[in-house]
Structure 1
Amino acid sequence: MSVIDLIAGLSLALALLPLGQGMLNLYLYRRPTTAPPLGTAVSILIPARNEETGIAAAVDAALLSRGVEVEVVVLDDHSTDRTAEIVRAIAARDPRVRLEPAPPLPPGWSGKQHACQVLAGLARYPVLLFQDADVRLSPAAARLTAGALLSGGNGLISGFPREETGTLAEALVIPLIHFLLLGYLPMAGMRRSTDPRFGAACGQLIAVRKEAYLQAGGHAAIAASLHDGVTLPRAFRRAGQGTDLFDATGLARCRMYRGWREVWSGFSKNATEGMATPAALPVWTLLLFGGHVLPWMLLGWAALHPLPMTAVVIAGLAAMAGVIFRLLLAVHFRQSVVGALLHPVGILIMLAIQWSALLRARHGKPAEWRGRAYPAGPGPEAP
């Protein structure tokens, strides 16, 4: 067997890994269906900083919740636009809405984690549902999320909303959230263990039991973090609390970023707390480049230079495996088909974002988001 055959074989193995893991995870990753006990009450908590274009839609959607009692608490995090004015007007006509001002940001805290910690202290109910201001809940979301949380033994559960995309940049990169989650996280192991390494969540939509939240240290345990989707479930797991994931595609929707600039900045800001570490990124590069870009490079090379037919066939199977998985995800989660067909391009952009973030951190350049700058590198988590 030639060297090129071995390279093609490696690319096929790396492409089949997420396809196989993803098929199993699609079976395990379900929309919740269990109703909560009668009388369940949910505090829907929304941190908001300069969200005038969408905050009314977020609050109005939350107020349409059915099957549980809700309060909607919005924390105005020193907005310089009309965010507070808009929420104040909604609160004047619906007593379930409260607008609260954020205290000054203490040293060592990121803005979102501080806002969520303050919101948790203001909540009146035992189920806390944290949502981003760009998330729109369905009327069943609070009820079914509370049912999934209270029917299991977990302290935290999180759902990934339907991620809406409006530009090619968004369609290429944002659906990779589901690809990475379902292709590489062993959900069966996650549910059997409280090992922090299995911790995963979507910061856009997280529900917690209030007593479990306090036991885990709340957002104070991850005060400096910019990536609560990774660090908050790990804090719960370190405290002995289970965490779980559910499919929120039909329960919530979110357009997290708009256009190329926001996609790059948004994924860069927390990269060094996830993929972009000196130890992890070379491994991720091997997995993603080797399994989802290299096969296409081999096929392109074969179009210009003769290669062994075995290598061409194997590279073709590897290329098909990646695109087939992306197309399955696109259909299942209502994602862009164009983004799925351009899967290797999206992988290259994602890797470029991660390597750029790592190099910025190595040179001490701060991450910037919502008008605030944060020290480069991962934020410390409380022990």
Structure 2
Amino acid sequence: MFSDAGRLVGVALLGVQVWLLLVLLVRLMPGYSRRPPVAPRRTPRTDTTVTVMVTTLNEVHRVGPCLDGLMQQQEPLLEVLVVDSRSTDGTRELVEAASKRDPRIRLVTDEPLPPGWVGKVWALENGLREARGEWVLGIDADTVPAPGLVGAVIDAVEQDGYDVASFSPQFRDQTPAERFVQPAMLTTLVYRCGAAGATQPPPDRVLANGQCFLARRELLLAHGGYACARNSWCDDVTLARHLAANGARVGFLDGSKIIQVSAYASLGEMWREWGRSFDLKDATPTWRRWLDVALVWAVQGLPLPVLLVIGTMVAAGVVDPIHSANAMLWQALLLVNGSALFIRLFMLWALRGSYAERGWSFWFSWLADLAASWRLTLSTAKRPKAWRGRSFESLPA
């Protein structure tokens, strides 16, 4: 017979899951009318100018395809500033060789890193001081821009009247292990902030992607450049939310057709490097991050285990979901967790365009939801102290 304690646990779990499932549905509903992926622009534009900024620190094995993609861009691209933090692996020589092929590419060395700044954010700040374009477009060194990207992002922001916009990429060159775990981690972001291309959320829920981040140069300068995100581990989201809170119109759009990213070499590197910041620390109050952790566990991490436990108990004759005194509780738990699992499986179909290669590991990535929930919990509980070989022990919390 099912104990009173077990009944109380079931009722409490059901109450939490029902509430957080409703929260999730409210967040996901705008995604049904989201804008389709931004398409590359095939013809040049001469009515505006764009400065692309690429930050580098020992990126010789990754920055080449990025520079090749940028050299294929037409107007409105004005210049490409590669802001290097004194690389020692041949990155600088590679960039200088590229600049001889395309004079729009220029190597810039950032100033020594001051206290209280994360290295990448400081490099972006140095690039902003050198930029001459009406717009500045931050591009990560591990991305591959498609021909027509620069014109396409300008078209996109003008269409919707954005002052700032970032674009989600298409992931490529992932190992099967990465394709098994990373989509589950990505789903937590959608659950917490909504889908790319959906209507603009409140400023404190704005999502951004620093791998392709566009903003009006004068707007950035008017708001202190990148200083608001100087010590942030999720500088892109911190900056976007700061600008949105101060009246800028900020968009997050699907850029899977205009930019690809090959960010990590293994599951371990992805788990460590992306996991350090994907809880959106520094851009989200602590209480809200922990509420998001609860949401992810309730509607993503736990539904499959709950269904398996109930199924095992039914098979063993421990519970009867039809004729027992607690039949309504069991039926409600089955309905809620079954609905959450259905939504999760639907997310696979919705996210399929974000992956250049999929295969069986992508389609079974929902089995990694427990791991993704646990990684989010670890990231929320612990603040990182190092990144890309640099120590940031002195950064304030």
2:375 is equivalent to residue 353 of structure 1: yes
Q: Compared with structure 1, are the counterparts of its residues 11 and 340 closer, same or farther at alpha carbon in structure 2 (3 Å cutoff)?
A: farther
What letter corresponds to residue 369 of structure 1 in structure 2? W
Provide closer, same or farther for how the CA distance between residues 189 and 240 of structure 1 changes in structure 2, counting only shifts above 3 A: farther
Q: Which residue of 2 aligns with 1:323?
A: 344
| Cα distance in 1 for residues equivalent to 2:284 and 2:157 | 31
Q: Distance in 1 between matches of 2:116 and 2:245?
A: 21
| Map 1:2-41 → 2, pairs under 5 A | 4=10, 7=13, 11=17, 14-15=20-21, 18=24, 21-22=27-28, 24-32=30-38, 38-41=46-49
Distance 1:96 1:188 in 2: 31
- The 5 Å alignment of 1:14-163 reads 14-15=20-21, 18=24, 21-22=27-28, 24-32=30-38, 38-163=46-171
TM-score by length of 2: 0.82
Deviation at 1:150, TM superposition (A): 3.8
Give the alignment partner of residue 178 of structure 2, picking from 164, 167, 170.
Answer: 170
Cα offset for 1:112?
0.5
Residues in 2 aligned to 1:190 and 1:158: alpha-carbon distance in whole angstroms: 13
Show the counterpart of 1:262.
Answer: 269
Judge conservation of contact 2:191–2:296 (CA < 8 Å) in 1. Answer: no
Change over 3 Å in CA distance of 1:298–1:88 after alignment to 2: same
Q: Pick the aligned partner of 1:247 from 248, 254, 257.
A: 254
User: What's the CA shift for 1:168?
Assistant: 4.0
Change (3 A) 1:125 1:39: same
Distance in 1 separating the partners of 2:58 and 2:209: 21
| Counterpart residue type for residue 92 of structure 1 | K
The one-letter code matched in structure 1 to 2:135 is V
Q: Structure 1 177/139 Cα, relative in aligned 2: closer, same or farther at 3 Å?
A: farther
Give the Cα–Cα distance (whole angstroms) in 1 for the partners of residues 335 and 395 of structure 2: 39
1:367 partner amino acid: K
Kept in 2, the 8 Å contact 1:58–1:134? The answer is yes
Native 8 Å contact 2:56 2:85 kept in 1: yes
Change (3 A) 1:72 1:203: same
SS at match of 1:143: helix
- Deviation, 1:325, is 2.3
Tell me the amino acid that sits aligned with residue 371 of structure 2. I
TM superposition shift of 1:246: 1.0
Q: Tell me by how many angstroms 1:299 deviates.
A: 2.1
Alpha-carbon distance change, 245 to 152 in structure 1, aligned in 2, over 3 angstroms: same
Of 115-124 and 334-343, more deviation after overlay is shown by 334-343
Which residues of structure 2 form unaligned runs of 5+?
A: 1-6, 323-330
Distance 1:173 1:19 in 2: 23
| Structure 2 CA distance for aligned equivalents of residues 53 and 280 of structure 1 | 38
RMSD: 3.1
Question: Structure 1's 332 and 192: CA in aligned 2 closer, same or farther, altered over 3 A?
Answer: closer
Matches within 5 A, 1:225-236: 225-236=232-243
The structural deviation recorded for 1:209 is 0.6
Name which of structure 1's ranges 26-35 and 321-330 shifts more when overlaid on structure 2.
Answer: 26-35
Structure 1 unaligned blocks of 5 or more: none
Q: Does residue 221 of structure 1 match 2:228? A: yes
- 2:116–2:396 Cα contact (<8 Å) kept: no
The 3-state SS of whatever aligns with 2:247 is coil
Displacement of 1:176 in angstroms is 4.3
Q: Find the aligned partners of 1:358 and 1:198 in 2 and give their Cα distance.
A: 17
Instruction: Give 1:293-308 correspondences, 5 Å limit.
Output: 293-306=301-314, 307=319, 308=321
- Secondary structure of the corresponding residue to residue 339 of structure 2: helix
The reply to whether residue 209 of structure 1 matches residue 237 of structure 2 is no
Q: 1:312 Cα deviation (Å)?
A: 6.6
User: In the comparison of the two structures, how many residue pairs are matched?
Assistant: 372
Distance 1:209 1:62, change over 3 A: same
- Distance (whole Å) between structure 1 residues aligned to residue 214 and residue 30 of structure 2: 25
Q: TM-score, normalised by structure 1?
A: 0.85
Q: One-letter code of the match for 1:185?
A: C
Question: What SS does the aligned partner of 1:31 have?
Answer: coil
CA deviation after TM superposition for structure 1 residue 190, in Å? 8.6
* 2:244 paired with 1:237: yes
Structure 2 letter corresponding to 1:349:
A
Change (3 A) 1:31 1:188: closer
Q: Does 1:334 align with 2:340?
A: no
> How many Å apart are 1:247 and its aligned residue?
0.7
Secondary structure of the residue aligned to 2:306 is helix
Partner of 2:326: none
Change (3 A) 1:12 1:334: farther
Q: CA deviation at 1:376?
A: 7.9
